[in-house]
Structure 1
Amino acid sequence: MSLRALAFAVSTVAWLAAAPTLAQGPKAYHAPRTAYGQPDLQGVWTNATITPLTRDAKYGERNVLTKAEADAAEAATRAQVARADAPTPATLKVTELKNADCGPDGISGFNCGYNQGWKDPGTRLIDINGEKRASIITSPANGQLPPRIASAAGPRRAGRTDNPEGFSLGERCLLSFGSSAGPPMLPLMYNNTYQIVQSKDEIAIDVEMVHDVRHIHLTGGHLPASMKVWMGDSVGHWEGDTLVVETTNMRPEQGLRGGSPNQKVIEKFRRIGPNSLSYQFTVSDPDTYAAPFSGEVQMRTTKGQVYEYACHEGNYALTGMLAGARAEEKKQAEAGGAAKSGGE
């Protein structure tokens, strides 16, 4: 074993020992059972939250906000949503529209890629047993991703290629944007709904974003390491009321923040109340990060059903970008030909 692999293994053991246990509250909540005797996780859930993945540095190693801090953050979000929902002023001039403020998120003003009508990130912070969280990441203690190792490749840059397969998975309508489908399953600015369905031997999670379906097998082992699959190969088992899922064999295009195909994700699902589910994860990727990192998201029941996310039907972005690039190349070639002809 190399020194780097040994060091990572030691850090992993220490990390798991220090990782927070599933929040259970003052009294442990016991989930109802399915017909198969398993804890019932079924239903339609949302993980929409304004709690970011990584923590604002001003909070340091403190991940629980004071009531005043939490109230201020949620009030500011509600005010921003109200501003973005407001009708465009009829008196606004074209020049003002072009220079209109896009808001703190850069996408919710009058002249932005997405106006508020498309968004649904929620207006609430993660709340685990009354603790309003400053970041999804719970360890490292500073709420940041661990340092990347020197030999790790950088995150893939979308849209910087002439090859259609070089664009992001979301732009190609192959998989959810960001890490909505996961693992780990993280919230985005919209489409943060999941439907969980259980059988005796499998748990399926229908992800609203690009209508991906994760299959978590409760029997058998992992596929051979050579078989890489979208959303990875997930194998789960029950530890009391907690569903523990280990995912390996993820395709190289899907690694979180430029993670490697050797990334492994451990997830823990547990109902902590009739309408609340704790979702914890630990990502281990020794080819990319100097240490594992962990996080927790609160999922809440939501009304309604998950509708199909029709991506390809209105996806003009990819053909538009490629066609635009070809038009620019043609224009440059014609300009070069004209210049050559004029010089003869």
Structure 2
Amino acid sequence: MRIDRAALAICLFAVAAMLIAAPAVVAGEEDIPRTASGKPDLTGRYNIASSTPFERPSEFGDELFLTVEEAEEIMERTRAAVARSNAASDPERSAPPAGGDGSPGAAGAVGGYNSFWTDRGSDRFAIDGKFRTSILTDPPNGRMPSLSEAGKARRADLHPYAYENTGSAWWLETGDDPYDGPETLSVLDRCLYLGAAATPARPILYNNLKTITQTEDHVVILVEWMHWAKVVRLNAEHAPPEVRSLGGDPIGWWEGDTLVVETTNFLERPGVAREGLKVVERFTRQSADGLLYEFTVHDPDYTAPYGGEFLWPQTEELNYEYACHEGNYAMGNILRGARLLEREYLEQKGQAGSTGSGDE
């Protein structure tokens, strides 16, 4: 059979051009679930519980990694501690001393919780097969940067939010704000918002589940603790600076296969957020089993930005409603206790019939 060499050359040239123009396939990319438009599909439920500390223990210095042996030893100790805490309590035990016994841990020194009620996680995460000494990677020592002068001043102003309960209505004597009305209690006391669970996210005491729902225009991250929905508008502009909320204004965009989320416009709340706070998060689908989560925080309360990374493993666990606000019996009891102290104070002063602030 006679071959037309000119035609063959043209065919070979065309094939070569197609191969050059074709996008390179990243290793493992074919295993990543994708949407109809080709974007990585982040939809799913994730349990981010981990015993890896947020800040690096000082004994590790600038060392970012643990050896496999070190990680296994730490995880074994953690599991043993959890098992001890989960052991059956002595039914004949006495009540804890007033103010607690000074012991650390989830019990709050007064017997509030044992490990049964918590879900910190016992395992350490490994990225590229290497176990980490901390979630924070920047600064290089894995510890928070020092406070700025503004941060020091802000913390000095926080003391009125931690009044000591002396067992008397001392605020009626001094004229100070008792900080006991439903609108003046913190968003934590009212079970409304927990920044550490949302922006940036980190493993915390319990309720570490996140549920991601994704469309072409929005990504919604449902945070279990406080049942907070973080609605990310894609390819959008931030709201005007005067439009603020507890969780800020998150917008997002794709950089290749990574979803970048930038959150600004946080509502000024003592100990929660402040003007000038900006958080940048990056979500990268690693496989069908989880995400790599990276974050950088620009906070005027600190002398430098800080950031870190950890894994979000996918889970089949369900994200149930966290109805703490609706069932917040503790807040009502805080207010009732304050009214009782006011009544006792006024009775001692011969002024029974009025209870001061009148809340609850």
**Normalised by the size of structure 1, how large is the TM-score?**
0.81
Deviation at 1:27, TM superposition (A): 4.6
Q: Is residue 44–residue 193 contact of structure 1 (8 Å, CA) maintained in 2? A: yes
Partner of 2:241: 225
Contact preservation (8 Å) 2:236, 2:252: no
Task: Report the CA distance between 1:114 and its aligned residue.
Answer: 1.4
The one-letter code matched in structure 2 to 1:42 is T
Residue 129 of structure 1 corresponds to: 128
Corresponding residue of 1:162: 180
Kept in 2: contact 1:206–1:214 (CA 8 A) = yes
Matched, 1:235 2:248: no
CA contact 1:108–1:115 (8 Å) conserved in 2: no
Trace 1:203-222 onto structure 2 (pairs within 5 A).
203-222=219-238
| Cα distance change on mapping 1:129 and 1:224 into 2, 3 Å | same
Structure 1 residue 46, shift from structure 2 partner:
1.1
SS at the partner of 2:280? strand
Q: 5+ residue gaps in structure 1?
A: 1-25, 339-344
User: Whole-Å Cα distance in 1 between the matches of residues 39 and 126 of structure 2?
Assistant: 26
1:131 Cα offset (Å) = 1.6
Of 151-160 and 289-298, the range deviating more from structure 2: 151-160
Structure number with greater Rg is 2
Cα distance in 2, alignment partners of residues 56 and 307 from structure 1: 33
Q: Is the 8 A contact 1:229 1:249 kept in 2?
A: yes
**Pairing 1:86-97 to 2, within 5 Å after superposition:** 86-90=87-91, 92-94=92-94
Which secondary structure state, in structure 2, belongs to the residue aligned with residue 180 of structure 1? helix
Partner of 1:335: 348
Native 8 Å contact 1:250 1:261 kept in 2 = yes
Q: Which amino acid aligns with 2:298?
A: S
CA apart distance, 1:186: 1.6
d(CA) in 1 for partners of 2:116 and 2:102? 14
Mapping of 1:257-296 within 5 angstroms? Answer: 258-285=272-299, 287-296=300-309
> How has the CA–CA distance of structure 1 residues 306 and 108 changed in structure 2, closer, same or farther, with 3 Å as cutoff?
same
* Aligned-partner Cα distance in 1 for 2:104–2:264: 37
Contact 2:209–2:319 (Cα < 8 Å) also in 1? yes
Secondary structure at the aligned position of 1:50 is classed as coil
Shift in alpha-carbon separation, 1:83–1:336, aligned structure 2, 3 A: same
The number of residue pairs the alignment matches comes to 306
How does the TM-score come out when normalised to structure 2? Answer: 0.78
Equivalent residues of 1:102, 1:112 under 8 A apart: no
Structure 2 matches for 1:12-91, cutoff 5 A?
Answer: 27=27, 29=29, 31-90=32-91
The CA distance in 1 between the partners of 2:95 and 2:192, in whole Å, is 38
Residues 1:145 and 1:130: Cα distance change in structure 2 (over 3 Å)? same
Q: How much does 1:235 deviate?
A: 1.0
Shift in CA distance, 79/102, structure 1 to aligned 2, threshold 3 Å: farther
- Alpha carbons of 1:87 and 1:190: their partners in 2 closer, same or farther (altered >3 Å)? same
SS of the counterpart of 2:54? coil
> Residues 304, 102 of structure 1: CA spacing in aligned structure 2 closer, same or farther, 3 A cutoff?
farther
Find 1:301's aligned residue among 314, 323, 326. 314
Counterpart of 1:136 in structure 2: which amino acid?
A: I
Residue 204 of structure 2 corresponds to which residue in structure 1? 188
Checking the alignment, whether the CA contact within 8 Å between 1:210 and 1:309 is kept in structure 2 is: yes
State the Cα distance separating 1:308 from its structure 2 match.
0.9
Contact 2:267-2:273 at 8 Å conserved across structures: no
| Contact preservation (8 Å) 1:277, 1:298 | yes
Match of 2:196 in 1: 179
CA displacement at 1:59 relative to structure 2: 0.8
Offset of residue 175 of structure 1: 1.6
State the 1:259 CA deviation. 4.3
Letter in 2 for 1:238: W
Cα RMSD (Å): 2.6
Q: 1:131 corresponds to which letter in structure 2?
A: K
Q: Could you say if the C-alpha distance between residues 166 and 140 of structure 1 is closer, same or farther in structure 2, counting changes exceeding 3 Å?
A: farther
Shift of 1:28: 5.5
* 2:167 corresponding residue in structure 1: none
CA distance in 2, matches of 1:101, 1:156: 26
Structure 1 residue 301, shift from structure 2 partner = 0.7
Aligned to 1:149: 148
Q: Supply the distance in 2 between the matched residues of 1:69 and 1:203 (Cα, whole angstroms).
A: 38
Larger mean Cα displacement after TM superposition, 288-297 or 81-90: 81-90
8 Å CA contact 2:146, 2:303 repeated in 1 = yes
- Percentage identity across aligned positions? 38
